Amino acid sequence: MPRSSAAAQPPLFDPSNPAEVDTALEAAGPGQARHILTIKLSYVLGFLWVAVAGVVMLSLLQDLLIFGLPDAGLSERIYRLDLDTEASLPTWLASALMACASALLFLVAVQVKREQPRKAIPWFFLAVVFCALSVDEIAMIHEWLSGFLSARIDNSGLFYFAWTIPALVICLAGLICFIPFILSFKGIDRILLAGSAVVFLSGAIGMEMLGGSVAEVGGVETLQYRIFTTIEETLEYSGVLLFLYFILRQLRRSFNRTTICFE
């Protein structure tokens, strides 16, 4: 005899409510108690902020030592700790954060799709975008694009790093298209979503353009350019972390009342 849909569904409960957790454990029966994994978002975000602060400060410290104390014999840069080097710890951290954002966005999209399929499209799209950004951090695709465009156009001044030209157009168009999506949220969620985009793009595009104009005049091995790079990377990290907080808030709403079973 087939089971009814009601019987097939696990009891819903709020893990943050001890009384509901106890009720769920009792309902599971002897030997079938459910183990509840509670993840504190404050701990997760706190750890990530400390990690980001650590890699930024290490890179900034060696820049200050190299350019501020030229007679101290500290001219050898540790490139594995350098914010402006692709094969480095900071690059790995940035790529990992974007990959996590992509995976979490996909989870949100799957949850939204169950109830409102059309509303899941922006979530799936963002998951793909962040996956591409994660790959770009490691594969240096935008550097290749910059070299390709530099050989074909006049890319002086703010557009010294030529990849910023198509990136600026795409980002502005994307933000305009996502206005309805942003406005669909309220309160702190809307602030986090819009704010994370502004902070990230201010670094990835805005500071990159300013840094490019500085690099054109004095090159990339100057303290002024290195400061611009540090600000740029800090804004990018901050934007991603704010966005991760936004995503985790959405997951908390949906998954706090979801039981995952393996059959």
Q: Give 121-157 pLDDT, tens digit per residue.
A: 999 999 999 999 999 988 888 888 888 888 888 888 8
For residue 174, count other CB atoms closer than 10 A to its CB: 14
* Residue 6 pLDDT level (bands cut at 50, 70, 90): very low
**Main-chain dihedrals φ then ψ at residue 10, nearest 5 degrees:** -70, 155
Both structure tokens of 112 = 């939204």
Task: Produce one character per residue of 133-169: b if its CB has 16 or more CB atoms within 10 Å, e if not.
Answer: bbebbbeeebeebbeebeeeeebeebbbbbbbbebbe
Both structure tokens of 50 = 């400390």
CB 126 within 8 A of CB 143: no
Q: Work out the burial of residue 125: count CB atoms within 10 Å of its CB; fewer than 13 is exposed, 13-18 middle, 19 or more buried.
A: middle
- Of 204, 231, 78, 20, give the one whose Cα is nearest residue 129: 204
- Given a cut of 80, whether residue 191 has pLDDT beyond it is yes
Please tell me the distance from the alpha carbon of residue 34 to that of residue 24, in angstroms, as a whole number: 8
What pLDDT score does 257 carry? 56
- The DSSP 8-state label assigned to residue 88 in this structure reads S
Mean pLDDT of 210-232: 91
* Residue 34 pLDDT level (bands cut at 50, 70, 90): low
